[in-house]
Amino acid sequence: MPTVALGRRNLLTHIRDDVNIVAAGFLYDMAVLQSSARSAFGYKRAAKVIATALDGSLRELVARGTVRDVPYLGRASERIIEEVVATGESATVSRAVEASPKRADVHKRRQFRRAYLSRHSMMLALDAPLAATIVRPDTFLGDLQMHSTWSDGVESIASLAEGAEALGWRRIGVTDHSYGLPIARGMSMQDAVLQHREIDALNERLDGRVRVYKGVEANILADGSLDLSVGERRVFDYVIASPHSALRKEHDQTGRMLAAVRGPGVAILGHPQGRIFNSRPGVSADWEQVFVEAARLRVAIEIDGNWHRQDVDYELASLALDAGCLFALDSDAHSIREFPFTDYSIAHARIAGIPASRIVNCWPEAKFDKWLAERRR
């Protein structure tokens, strides 16, 4: 047991000292300060490469003198990276920020980068020698939030199922947006009936290789109610309730989130904060109170692996774990190429120390189906 604990402590140390995500943040700072769209784009592209595409640590690249070998990293980015590796800060960026009329915007955006993982940190988390009970990629049986062409996705449900089978998944949940979110081409109830006929036919053809569940992502309104009536919710195998509005507000929204968790038929609280990296903080709430209520009602808390969301992160996930919560680890994919976002979900769960037994994606089919039936009552 001490060896396992040491493994988690070492992992947390590495995660909190991730120069990749720090350097990416400084490059995003520089993007804000630019007067030309072209220069801003260059810094954003460099930041994105470091954060989402680089397997190794920038420390290694600086030591080898190979930073410029990474696509889209020019001399200006290299200088900032070298400063971050050497000191944890960037004197170049600090001078530029303080001399700019946009400095307030930069300081504001820095608050929207807490507990995000770079690709490098994510891979460390997946490979770390943790307790056998903690979720691993090979205990993950399928993704429960994804979107098809029935709302704002770009793949057919059949294509999503084929992509899942190729990854060795046993189940997926198609959760197109409900009709109350027209900006995401939310699905009407008439379309839901047609979609479900399509899923029934597809499941018959798949013959158990992958099972497609009929989910829906419902929108949490300002008062915590959903944009689907209780009767409409029962049409689906399960309902994910997610916030899509008031995500930049500073006022407390604990009541809104508690009402959503208590909503009849809700199985999963989706990307609860609604945060976006470098852009918005998401919902402000007493999350411990929300998690305690979710645990009481057996509503799963989603760890949304979309790189820009990473919601909830490993810090909040630890709080939810202590509260006794169940979890759902999902990609929120809008195409097959976004399925690997589940790796970020699994990584956050591993850093938080969540056992596979608490994660509904990892449950055998009979146990999962029983839980869904309980949530539909």
Q: Which residue has the tokens 């009541």?
A: 255
State yes or no: pLDDT of 2 exceeds 80: no
Distant-in-sequence, close-in-space partners of 52: CB < 8 Å, separation ≥ 6: 118, 119, 307
Cα–Cα distance between 289 and 272 in angstroms, integer?
13
pLDDT in tens, 200-211: 999 999 999 999
Q: Assign 150 a pLDDT band (cuts: 50, 70, 90).
A: very high
Distant-in-sequence, close-in-space partners of 205: CB < 8 Å, separation ≥ 6: none
User: Can you tell me whether residue 237 is helix, strand or coil?
Assistant: coil
HSE-up of residue 373 (Cα within 13 Å, Cβ side): 6
User: Can you tell me whether residue 250 is helix, strand or coil?
Assistant: coil
State yes or no: pLDDT of 377 exceeds 50: yes
DSSP 205-236: HHTTSSEEEEEEEEEE-TTS-BSS-HHHHTTS
Q: Which of 219, 171, 179 is nearest to 195 (CA)?
A: 179
Four-residue CA torsion sign, 267, 273, 276, 277: negative
- Tell the CATH topology of 133-375: TIM Barrel (3.20.20)
pLDDT in tens, 281-313: 999 999 999 999 999 999 999 999 999 999 999
Count the neighbouring beta carbons within 10 Å of the beta carbon of residue 336: 19
User: What one-character DSSP code corresponds to residue 340?
Assistant: G
pLDDT in tens, 321-336: 999 999 999 999 999 9
Does residue 136 contact residue 356 with C-beta atoms inside 8 Å?
A: yes
Cα–Cα distance between 246 and 268 in angstroms, integer?
20
The proportion of the chain whose per-residue pLDDT surpasses 90, expressed as a percent, equals 92
Q: Assign 31 a pLDDT band (cuts: 50, 70, 90).
A: very high
| pLDDT for the residue numbered 175 | 98
Based on its alpha-carbon atoms, the radius of gyration of the chain, rounded to whole angstroms, reads 21
Q: Which of 268, 258, 264, 269 is nearest to 293 (CA)?
A: 258
Q: Which residue has the tokens 């056998």?
A: 132
In the chain, residues under CATH classification 3.20.20.140 are: 133-375
Q: Assign 1 a pLDDT band (cuts: 50, 70, 90).
A: very low
